[in-house]
Amino acid sequence: MHRTTFVAVLCILAAATGSAAAQDFPEPRIGLSDPSSARVITSFAGIQWGAAEGEIISLRGRPTTERPAGAGAKGMVYEDEQIIGRESAAEFVVHPEQGLIRGMYFVAFGRGRDCETAFDRLVSDISARYPTIEPTVRKSNESSLDLCGGVSIGRADAWAHWAEPVPKGLLSELTSDRGSIMVLLPPEDKVISVYYDSPAADAWSDEAAKERREAVF
């Protein structure tokens, strides 16, 4: 996904985190605050799925910027977040009827092998908060360089995915509070994207994609 809204912000963040790999990072603010109870992904940044725009503003203050997110939803962008000890941007995607349906962090990384250090730290921290979910983690490198070198020339990438399984015997209606998380380190990108999706996110994303396709013609 392209995030043109964040280009200027993220370029600044990338420059500011050039030496971040050598730091001892403080605990990040990701997902639920109590790892032992993190059995279901029901929130982003401590705000429950379905929260209305006004509720988010009351808890977080006014966003730095807002942008259309498609299919009637809007993105509320907050800068100056702290994830794994790094300045990041966060976006809350809010639908007028379904409330908060997606949350995103965009975490800048520095030079050298810092992209892999940051990716591994995110995977470790999210896994610690959702110990009952086994993530799928993939790293691909078609270059002769290390992973970050491969990313920089568009020949490598990495991703990790957590999805709460549906317990056997439960009706789909009983799993409506389940969500998923994706961490993406795309080729040639300068940030790692972390997506928290509510159960309503897939249908909204499909509708938004359809809307974009129709706008082209």
What is the distance between the alpha carbons of residues 20 and 34, in angstroms, rounded to a whole number?
26
H or E element that contains 157: strand 156-163
Read off the pTM.
0.78
The structure tokens listed for 20 are: 């971040």
Best CA proximity match to 77, nearest among 180, 160, 3: 3
pLDDT of residue 211: 87
pLDDT of residue 37: 41
Check the CA dihedral 13-17-21-26 and report its sign: negative
pLDDT of residue 166: 67
pLDDT of residue 84: 93
DSSP one-letter string for 41-110? --EETTEETT--HHHHHHHH-S-SEEEEEETTEEEEEEEEEEETTEEEEEEEEEETTTEEEEEEEEEE--
User: Which portions of the chain are predicted below pLDDT 50?
Assistant: 1-38, 172-176
What is the distance between the alpha carbons of residues 22 and 25, in angstroms, rounded to a whole number?
9
pLDDT of residue 152: 97
